Amino acid sequence: MKVAVVGATGLVGTKMLQVLAERNFPVTELVPVASERSVGKEVEFKGKKYKVVSMTDGIAAKPAVALFSAGGTTSLEWAPKFAEAGIKVIDNSSAWRMDPKKKLVVPEVNADALTADDFIIANPNCSTIQMVVALQPLHTKYKIKRVVVSTYQSVTGTGAKAVEQLMGERERAVKGVSAEHAMAYKYQIDLNVIPQIDVFLENGYTKEEMKMVKETCKIMRDDSIRVTATTVRIPVMGGHSESVNVEFENDFDLEEVKSLLAAAPGIVVQNDDAAQFYPMPMDAHEKDEVFVGRLRRDESQPKTLNMWVVSDNLRKGAATNAVQIAEYMLSKNLL
């Protein structure tokens, strides 16, 4: 199978290549695609080097599927051109997520919505993906009324420039050296917390927060679920963490909650208070699962659960989810 990775030289594109190799997706020929300034550069896949080609050449190569991670503007321009050429596009940007004609897919939750007629499939926001994986088995059993989520998001979610900023600031703090580094954020991120991800909207929420609100309902196919979010950037790498408070219509048994989560696809329960065992970004790093812990009743109101959800935002939150969509489509002869 011929596979294109669009944005192959970026953080997520590089991770897509890694995940394709690790999961042994049946790539017979790789077509790495990037912007004009990256054309001619080389990327490595399974020990072999491939030259990066332009968008036009990527379409001409006629891959069966193209994994896009090149930003919303690029996707709006080029995803339809790939689709018109008969190429299935799985897009990691926000460009198509809320388009009513496009599917927004997390395989553990709603892969069954995909059909042979879907040529542009949206990959959800990283923080939404891990949350809905954890919510789905509980929604099926108890029916969710409301979710209150606060996120603690890795700098890798912003990109290479943010990693450079964090490392530069850390070097300055440790060595006392004023190293030159890019500024991905308005403020220092090392030894700091920035309660803003993406731009502010008229309602006082950020774009990232409203993504979580809208995407959750679309993926879980239930507009009655009420979601409110506060998204925060913290100086870590390895994954995003979320404090999730879930109110249900029906009461739950805590032991049954643990069993439901442990049995659900893509979830690892790490919940042992006595052993101080709970999910952390450093343990989720380079793993594909969603890790859930700190499970406990909200004692301030009935039928409400608190949980802590952690996942590698570059893998399950982006690259792995996209590859899993392609795997599902392949298994159902949709590619």
Catalytic positions are 126, 240
**3-state secondary structure (DSSP) of residue 277:** strand
With beta carbons less than 8 A apart as the criterion, state whether 121 and 94 touch. Answer: no
**3-state secondary structure (DSSP) of residue 39:** coil
Instruction: For residue 261, count CB atoms less than 10 angstroms from its CB and return exposed for 0-12, middle for 13-18, buried for 19 or more.
Output: buried
* Helix (H) or strand (E) run with residue 215 in it: helix 207-220
Q: How far apart are CA 302 and CA 141, in angstroms?
A: 16
Q: What's the number of CA atoms in the CB half-sphere (13 Å) around residue 272?
A: 6
Strand order in the sheet with 65-68: 29-33, 2-6, 65-68, 88-91, 120-122, 103-104
Strands 290-297 and 226-233: unpaired
Q: How far apart are CA 305 and CA 258, in angstroms?
A: 11
Phi first, then psi: give them for residue 125, nearest 5 degrees: -60, 145
